[in-house]
Structures are given as structure tokens and as C-alpha cells.
């Protein structure tokens, strides 16, 4: 669905981030869920390197993006927002209670059992690049990811998705795996690589990615990280 300035749903994001982060800001998870659900949304954008307005902390206590509002609920945390959007979308959450519970468990698994390891590698390679502790820790961090991806590959086997059909659990798992996009660690696990490619090949993801990229309109100012 298109971004629509008059839509009742509002999602916050950034109008500027460093080039390496473009396409990876977590509002993409919310945009993807909304695309799957066929719901339009408007955006409110901040510059990543500038302080958020004081009032924004009433919407997102940590001042981060994304936050979500639809006139009825105001939410933060990409996982909680995706689960909320999924409530009335059968593409994201199946109708049967057991299927809904399974999809939910995969959302939590993605955020709690996979994302922390990938985030650690990101910290090592991007935010602490060149630091001695990062050099020492890197092999161990890679091994942890290797182990987790191997188990994920075992689970997937020949399946296309984590359960029978695509759900919000796959949306969140693939979103988390994007932190390894282009990393050889992913190629070491062909089942995970195939699964990931399948998820991000969905038209809804591609639309969400294009929409986020189109919103980076502010240029870096002199002296800022670029
Ligand atoms: N657990 C949060 C993390 C949100 C998050 O880390 N947002 C980043 C952008 S991807 C952010 O706003 N960073 C700027 C900051 O922390 O001030 C979620 O999933 O929504």
C-alpha cells in the first residue's frame, strides 16, 4: 500500500541515516507488516543525528524509531507493533489459535534468540570497528551465529517458511537476518539463505524497502557521520 499523508496509521522513521543503515532502520518491519496487511500509513520522520522532540518520548520512551499510532493504540517496539498489525491479517497470523501461538513464538525467537547475536556482530564491525576488544571477540561472536543459523537450517529443512505458511514470525525472522545480508555466514547455511531470499522476495517487503529508501531525503550536514 502506498504511503498516504491522510492515512490514520502513523509510523515514525528517519529522514537521514548514514548510508550503511539505509534500508535497515527498524520501521521497515512495520512498513512490511502494513504492506502484507494492505493498510496505508503516513510517516513522521526525524533526523537520526539530531535530538528527538521532548514530546516524542511520550510515544517511544527511548526516543527510538519506530513508533506506531492508529488513533486507538499507540505502540513502540517493532515486534509488538508487527504483532498488533497481524491481529486482523490472516496472511500474518493464521485463524486457528495454535497457529497464532506458533507465529507469535517465532516473533519472540527472532527478537530474543537470534537478533542479539547478529546485533553483537554489528556492534563489533560497525560501531566498535578497530577496537581491540572487538578484534578479540569477533571469532566467538561469529561462532555463536554459526551455531544458531545451523539450528535454524535444521528446523527449516526443505520448508519454505518456519511453519506451514508465511506468518509474522517469518517477517520478523527475515528482518533480523537482514543484519547478515551479504555476510558469508549466511551463505554457509544454504537452507537459511534460501529461506531468507524467499522472504525478502515477497512484493510486500520490496514495497516497504522502496518506501523507506524514498524517505531518506535529508542530506548529511558537515561534521556529521556520513
Ligand atoms: N527494540 C527496538 C529497537 C529500536 C531501534 O533500535 N531503533 C533504532 C533505529 S533501527 C533507533 O531509533 N536508533 C536511534 C537511537 O537509538 O537513538 C525495536 O525493535 O523497535
Per mean pLDDT, which range of 169-183, 186-200, 211-225 is the poorest? Answer: 211-225
Contact 167, 92 (CB under 8 A): yes
Tell me the mean pLDDT in the region 25-30: 98
- Cα gap 194→196, rounded to integer Å: 5
Domain of residue 61, residue span:
10-90+206-214
Single pTM value for the model: 0.96
Domain count, the chain: 2
Residues 127 and 45 in one domain: no
pLDDT score at 10: 98
- Cα gap 8→71, rounded to integer Å: 7
- Is the CB of residue 188 below 6 angstroms from any atom belonging to ligand 1? no
- Residue 4 falls inside a structural domain: no
Contact 213, 11 (CB under 8 A): no
Residues 108 and 63 in one domain: no
- Residue 3 falls inside a structural domain: no
Closest Cα to atom 16, ligand 1: which residue?
64
Tell me the mean pLDDT in the region 129-149: 97
Q: Residue 223 pLDDT > 50, yes or no?
A: no
Q: Which residue has the higher pLDDT, 173 or 226?
A: 173
Please state at what angle helix 97-109 crosses helix 168-177, rounded to 10 degrees: 10
Find the DSSP H helices in 77-131: 78-86, 97-109, 115-122
Q: Residue 226 pLDDT > 70, yes or no?
A: no
Residues 131 and 57 in one domain: no
Closest Cα to atom 18, ligand 1: which residue?
77
Amino acid at each position: 500500500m502506498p504511503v498516504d499523508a491522510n492515512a490514520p496509521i502513523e509510523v515514525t522513521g528517519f529522514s537521514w541515516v548514514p548510508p550503511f543503515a539505509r534500508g535497515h532502520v527498524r520501521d521497515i518491519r512495520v512498513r512490511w507488516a502494513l504492506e502484507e496487511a494492505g493498510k496505508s500509513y503516513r510517516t513522521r520522520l526525524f533526523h537520526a543525528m539530531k535530538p528527538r522532540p521532548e514530546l516524542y518520548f511520550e510515544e517511544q520512551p527511548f526516543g527510538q524509531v519506530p513508533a506506531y499510532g492508529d488513533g486507538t493504540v499507540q505502540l513502540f517496539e517493532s515486534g509488538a507493533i508487527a504483532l498488533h498489525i497481524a491481529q486482523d491479517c490472516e496472511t500474518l497470523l493464521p485463524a486457528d489459535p495454535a497457529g497464532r501461538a506458533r507465529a507469535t513464538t517465532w516473533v519472540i525467537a527472532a527478537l530474543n534468540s537470534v537478533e542479539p547475536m547478529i546485533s553483537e556482530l554489528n556492534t563489533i564491525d560497525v560501531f566498535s570497528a578497530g577496537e581491540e576488544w572487538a578484534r578479540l571477540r569477533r571469532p566467538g561472536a561469529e561462532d555463536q551465529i554459526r551455531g544458531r543459523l545451523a539450528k535454524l537450517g535444521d528446523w527449516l529443512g526443505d520448508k519454505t517458511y518456519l511453519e506451514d505458511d508465511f506468518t509474522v514470525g517469518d517477517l520478523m525472522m527475515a528482518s533480523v537476518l537482514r543484519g547478515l545480508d551479504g555476510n558469508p555466514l549466511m551463505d554457509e547455511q544454504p537452507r537459511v539463505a534460501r529461506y531468507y531470499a524467499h522472504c525478502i522476495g515477497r512484493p510486500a517487503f520490496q514495497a516497504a524497502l522502496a518506501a523507506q529508501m524514498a524517505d531518506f531525503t535529508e542530506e548529511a550536514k558537515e561534521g556529521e557521520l556520513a
